[in-house]
């Protein structure tokens, strides 16, 4: 269940992860983190969906968040799935998740129920490949039948309470130090998938659990997500998951029934992908280069007469200070009050700025068209289909 303490292969990865995560968190103004969090949650949802074989275009996710759903049933279902995922991650990011330790049976059940209860009824069924029967997914409940996932045969359904009790004991132990807990995040991810407690939705629950666990351990934030790293290395992700399912290979391969080497290899991959994603976001959010990308984009928009001159000065203030007081906009833009209001209106209309009320300070927002320019490579070039 947990890599043995004698294993030192993961030590350097843990130290790098802690250092890189701390550097990223310190780089961004606390107010701006909230806006970035909205962007990262949509990104995380897109990549988590992709791993599940659900290719939902970022534009469709944006529309769904604005309560603009497609008339096409399948696309609408996927949009509702995206909204459900983002809802759950927002609860985690804002500290509105349960007090239960994330690596626990109770937390897994909460994740599954919170997510599945927001899905359309059509998505709460799976087909039995052997009999063709439609099987209902009950949000938050352990499966009540045996299943096979590829070549893997998870534990019998009647043994799930015992396996989930062992899960709790292994990962909720107060004897584990913080570094040991960080070391085992990949193991938690793998072992939950190995147990496969739910009829469907186990992969999504495992990834949300990993996100919550990193956050509780002080290295995860709303500024990054491992899901992008897993999706961009999906073949290796699934190969290492399968290899960690293998039986123990001799006396030097740990003490349990499953291979220690396979588990450690997956944990190392998981930590490396996490570090890779923190570094990716750190580069994107480096203030000087971020401002340069914003300025180039805004200049193009001004030349095309889609924005007014002075727009960049307002956006720069939002990046550096986290938000912009409306009273400062005339001085920032060089316009009188009416002209300053026109600049503001243009940025709000384009979705680049948002505010809780018409008098509240303005904060950055990142609709997909903007995110594609300000944050290159956030999504793959051929993400979904624009319809």
Known binding positions for ATP = 149-152, 200-207
How many CA atoms lie within 13 Å of 317's alpha carbon, on the beta-carbon side? 20
- Give the span between the Cα atoms of 238 and 149, in whole angstroms: 12
Question: 25 near 221, Cβ under 8 Å?
Answer: yes
- Give the span between the Cα atoms of 59 and 70, in whole angstroms: 11
- Give the span between the Cα atoms of 336 and 331, in whole angstroms: 8
Question: 191 near 168, Cβ under 8 Å?
Answer: no
Residue 66 vs residues 43, 74, 82, 371: alpha-carbon distances, Å: 16, 18, 12, 16
Is residue 190 annotated as a catalytic residue, yes or no? no
- Give the span between the Cα atoms of 290 and 282, in whole angstroms: 10
- Give the span between the Cα atoms of 118 and 152, in whole angstroms: 29
Q: Name the binding residues.
A: 149-152, 200-207
Q: Which of 196, 211, 297, 358 is catalytic?
A: 196
- Three-class DSSP labels, 26-87: HHCCHHHHHHHHHHHHHHHHHHHHHHCCCCCCHHHHHHHHCCCCCCCHHHHHHHHHHHHHHH
Provide the 3-class DSSP secondary structure of residue 156: coil
How many CA atoms lie within 13 Å of 378's alpha carbon, on the beta-carbon side? 29
Query: 331-360 burial string, b = 16+ CB within 10 Å, else e?
Result: ebbebeeebbeebbebbeebbbbbbeeeee
Residues noted as catalytic: 196
């Amino acid at each position: 269940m947990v890599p043995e303490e004698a294993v030192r292969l993961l030590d350097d990865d843990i130290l790098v992860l802690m250092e890189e995560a701390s550097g990223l968190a310190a780089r961004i103004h606390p107010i701006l983190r909230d806006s970035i969090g909205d962007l990262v949650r949509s990104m995380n949802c897109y990549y988590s969906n992709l791993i599940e074989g659900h290719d939902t275009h970022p534009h469709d996710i944006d529309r769904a968040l604005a309560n603009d759903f497609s008339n096409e049933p399948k696309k609408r279902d996927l949009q509702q799935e995206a909204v459900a995922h983002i809802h759950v991650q927002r609860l985690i990011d804002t500290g509105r998740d349960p007090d239960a330790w994330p690596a626990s049976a109770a937390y897994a059940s909460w994740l599954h129920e919170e997510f599945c209860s927001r899905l359309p009824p059509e998505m709460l069924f799976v087909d039995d490949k052997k009999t063709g029967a439609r099987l209902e997914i009950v949000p938050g409940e352990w499966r009540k039948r045996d299943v096979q996932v590829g070549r893997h045969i998870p534990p019998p359904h009647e043994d799930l309470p015992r396996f989930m009790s062992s899960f709790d004991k292994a990962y909720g132990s107060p004897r584990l130090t913080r570094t040991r807990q960080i070391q085992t995040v990949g193991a938690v991810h793998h072992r939950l998938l190995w147990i496969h407690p739910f009829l469907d939705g186990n992969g999504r629950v495992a990834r949300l659990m990993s996100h919550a666990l990193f956050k509780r351990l002080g290295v995860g934030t709303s500024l990054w997500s491992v899901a992008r790293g897993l999706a961009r290395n999906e073949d290796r992700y699934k190969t290492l998951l399968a290899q960690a399912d293998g039986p123990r290979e001799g006396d030097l391969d740990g003490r349990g029934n499953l291979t220690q080497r396979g588990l450690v290899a997956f944990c190392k991959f998981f930590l490396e992908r996490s570090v890779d994603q923190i570094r990716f976001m750190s580069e994107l959010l480096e203030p000087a280069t971020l401002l340069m990308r914003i300025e180039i984009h805004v200049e193009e928009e001004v030349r095309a007469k889609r924005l007014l001159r002075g727009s960049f000065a307002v956006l720069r203030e939002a990046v550096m200070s986290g938000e912009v007081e409306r009273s400062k906009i005339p001085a920032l833009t060089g316009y009188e009050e009416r002209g300053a209001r026109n600049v503001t209106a243009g940025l709000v209309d384009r979705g680049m700025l948002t505010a809780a009320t018409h008098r509240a300070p303005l904060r950055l927002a990142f609709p997909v068209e903007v995110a594609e320019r300000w944050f290159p490579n956030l999504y793959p070039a051929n993400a979904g289909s624009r319809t």
